[in-house]
Amino acid sequence: MKILKILFMLLLYKPIAMNSKLSNILLGILIICVFASKAKAQPTKQNLNISFLLDLSDRIDPKKNPGIYQRDLQYIKSVQQAFINHVKGKKMLLLKDQMQVFFNPLPNISNINQLSEQLKIDFTPKSSKQAFLNIDKVYANNPAKIYQSAIKDGNYLGSDIWRFFKSNVQQYCIKPQHRNILVILTDGYIYHKASKIEVAGKSSYITPQYIQSKKLVNANFAALMQKNKLGFISFPYNLKELEIMVLGINPSVKNPYEEDVIKQYWTDWFKAMNVKKFELRTTDLPSNLASVIIDFIQGGYK
């Protein structure tokens, strides 16, 4: 800024002896400096890599939790809209943004591979106009088909988010030169019969019954967790390039401290794995969480 002022003063009060050639050179330098300062004030938007991890356990059963799966669909729509707004704000030549959906375990749906493949969005400078037009339709139809098919099947297999982190999160959700965001839609409970592990107080799962068995039912839950070294089994990962948003936490109403316990488990787990940034949100009306979702995704540019 000081250099700009000096150049401006020289041009404004240049002595008569200064020839026109030197004057033009100074003017050229001034113009270059002005454009450079503007470019610096407007940082280039990062490449986004957004992944969804869907919990298709019995939490989405309409008989057990009416309206939950519809909320999930609206959360997905808000994330997708924030992604599209980001892409539209970039120059075509700079596009290197992607979005995809994962499950663990895989739902018992005959065409799940086709549906999930269509949900893999990869925008590049070569992307066609039709690709931009298709994303709204695909993200409106395919998630709804997946949820409705899982509900119709009725054979809810549980939620193995723990094993997804153990085996897949680093390979599937983190890409170099991208801002990596993982959106997990879950009630906060984790359980799968094939991944029921306990080691020195740590576990691979958490359920309402498990919380009751550990007596985490009063204001002393944090001290009790620390004393007994309770929490999720973590992994020696350094997830410093991953940001996570957990949406839809739905604690049992039988325990007034259930929400706090669930969030403590997830918080300790993410911190142990050096997750860069995370947000834990209890289930709420999609209209209330829309701004939270948008702020989280756009937060990398502030």
Instruction: Give the contacts of 68 (CB within 8 A, at least 6 positions apart).
Output: 59, 60, 62, 187, 248, 250, 283
Which whole number is the average pLDDT over 95-113?
96
Cα–Cα distances in angstroms (integers) from residue 56 to residues 85, 118, 247, 259, 270, in the given order: 28, 19, 14, 20, 22
Task: Tell me the β-bridge partners of 52.
Answer: 101, 183
- Using CA atoms, how far apart are residues 97 and 48, in angstroms rounded to an integer? 5
Q: At 37, is the pLDDT very low, low, confident or very high (cuts 50, 70, 90)?
A: very low
The pLDDT tens digits for 111-169 are: 999 999 999 999 999 998 888 889 999 999 999 999 999 999 999 999 999 999 999 99
Instruction: Give the contacts of 250 (CB within 8 A, at least 6 positions apart).
Output: 59, 65, 68, 187, 188, 282, 283
* Per-residue pLDDT, 42: 41
* Per-residue pLDDT, 298: 87
Which whole number is the average pLDDT over 241-270?
98
Q: Does the structure show a pLDDT above 80 at 13?
A: no
- CA angle (275, 288, 70) in 5-degree steps: 90
Which whole number is the average pLDDT over 29-55?
64
Classified by CATH at the fold level, domain 48-301 comes out as: Rossmann fold (3.40.50)
Instruction: Look over the chain and give the mean of its residue pLDDT values, rounded to a whole number.
Output: 89
Higher pLDDT pick, 148 / 14? 148
Cβ-contact 58, 64 below 8 angstroms:
yes
- Which of 256-260, 262-266, 287-291, 296-300 is the least confident region? 296-300
Which whole number is the average pLDDT over 27-32?
46
* Per-residue pLDDT, 33: 46
Cβ-contact 97, 86 below 8 angstroms:
yes
Q: Does the structure show a pLDDT above 80 at 266?
A: yes
Cβ-contact 293, 281 below 8 angstroms:
no
* Per-residue pLDDT, 177: 95
Which whole number is the average pLDDT over 180-205?
97
Cβ-contact 103, 168 below 8 angstroms:
no
- Which of 24-38, 76-90, 163-177 is the least confident region? 24-38
The pLDDT tens digits for 201-250 are: 999 999 999 999 999 999 999 999 999 999 999 999 999 999 999 999 99
Cα–Cα distances in angstroms (integers) from residue 191 to residues 142, 194, 206, 209, in the given order: 25, 9, 6, 11
Domain edges within the chain: 2-41, 48-301
